[in-house]
Structure 1
Amino acid sequence: MLKKGTKLNSILTGSCPKCQEENMYVEKNPYKMGYLFKMHQDCSHCKLHYQIEPSFFYGAMYVSYAVGIAFAVAAFIISFVFLGSSLLTAFIAIVVTSIVFFPVIIRVSRNIWINFFIDYDNDWKNNLGNPKKKK
């Protein structure tokens, strides 16, 4: 399922979108709140600079909204439709889910955002000296 070279692999594992050899984050666990936003500056393998431009990851807020809605809808469907709870209980389930999965939503949103702009390069080792080289 998470085959190296796929966008899904990079998004779900938080690995470098270009080489998928290392994690982009200083701390892999998103629940260590002091390290939630701390990322390496560059990939130690392919030398990709993660902060493509100043404030690059502000765009991830739009993705975060969509991912948060997806989590909320999933919580509603599970609690209201499958478990048959009341609307108030379903609302509480949405709030609790949003709070509990907040760090995961932020990380996944950043991963999705950078994967919009950077593609996997199977030949990244040969392109280290010449970043403009095309296939």
Structure 2
Amino acid sequence: MFGKGSKLYSILFLKCPRCHEGEFLEANPYKLSNFNKVKERCPKCNLKYSIEPSFYYGSMYVSYGVGVAVAVAVYMLTLIFGVDLSILGLFGLIVGVLVLAMPWIAAISKSIWANFFFQYDKEIAEKVK
């Protein structure tokens, strides 16, 4: 389910959508000097990550959905653990978590967007190992 060959593997580990071997980003999402900069090509299989100029603008829509999911998860966790917060306190907690998770959310969103357009290729993956 999470192994190589699944889209979830590529998304969660920020790997190339085609070979699942090469890195997708230039650096860690939290390295703010290279904030979520996608590599031009996969270092292993040479896949060009950007189909057209401004290709990753579409990931903003995905980012919105992931952000809403994180906010709902924070709210549900406060309910599950019985954390008693006022509305303002809950709002502050959700905003704080979203601000801290922003680099990760942006990186995951770009990876999800790329996985809509590129498919895993087992033959290429075997060649680049």
Common fold: TM-score over 0.5: yes
Alpha-carbon distance in 2 for matches of 1:84, 1:31: 31
Contact in 2 for aligned 1:80/1:87 (Cα 8 Å): no
Give the match for residue 70 of structure 2: 71
Once the two structures are superposed, residues 77-106 of structure 1 have per-residue CA deviations (whole angstroms, 9 ceiling, x without a partner) of 222553232222111111101100000000
Q: What are the ranges of 5 or more consecutive residues in structure 2 without an aligned counterpart?
A: none
Match of 1:14 in 2: 14
Q: Specify every segment of 5 or more residues in structure 1 that has no aligned partner in the other structure, as ranges.
A: 129-135
Distance 2:111 2:95 in 1: 23
- Higher-Rg structure is 1
Q: How far does residue 47 in structure 1 lie from its aligned partner after superposition?
A: 1.3
In the alignment, the residues of structure 2 paired with residue 78 and residue 126 of structure 1 have an alpha-carbon distance, to the nearest angstrom, of: 41
Matched residue, 1:31: 30
Q: Using the TM superposition, give the Cα deviation of residue 16 of structure 1 relative to its aligned residue in structure 2, in angstroms.
A: 0.2
Map of 1:119 onto structure 2: 119
Matches within 5 A, 1:40-51: 40-51=39-50
* Counterpart for residue 133 of structure 1: none
Report the Cα distance in structure 2 between the residues aligned to 1:95 and 1:113, rounded to whole angstroms.
24
Q: In 2, Cα distance between the equivalents of 1:35 and 1:126?
A: 30
* TM-score of the pair, normalised by structure 1: 0.86
Percent identity at matched positions? 43
Deviations for 1:37-87, whole angstroms, at most 9, x for unmatched residues?
322211122111001111000000000000000011111222255323222
| Matched length | 127
Contact 1:80 1:86 in 2 (8 A): no
Matched AA of 2:38: M
8 Å contact kept, 1:79–1:89: no
Kept in 1, the 8 Å contact 2:21–2:125? The answer is: no
1:52–1:127 CA distance, 2 compared to 1 (3 A): farther
Q: Distance in 2 between matches of 1:125 and 1:89?
A: 48
TM-score, scaled relative to structure 2: 0.90
**Which protein is richer in helix relative to its size?**
2
Q: Which has the higher contact order (CA 8 A, sep 6+)?
A: 2
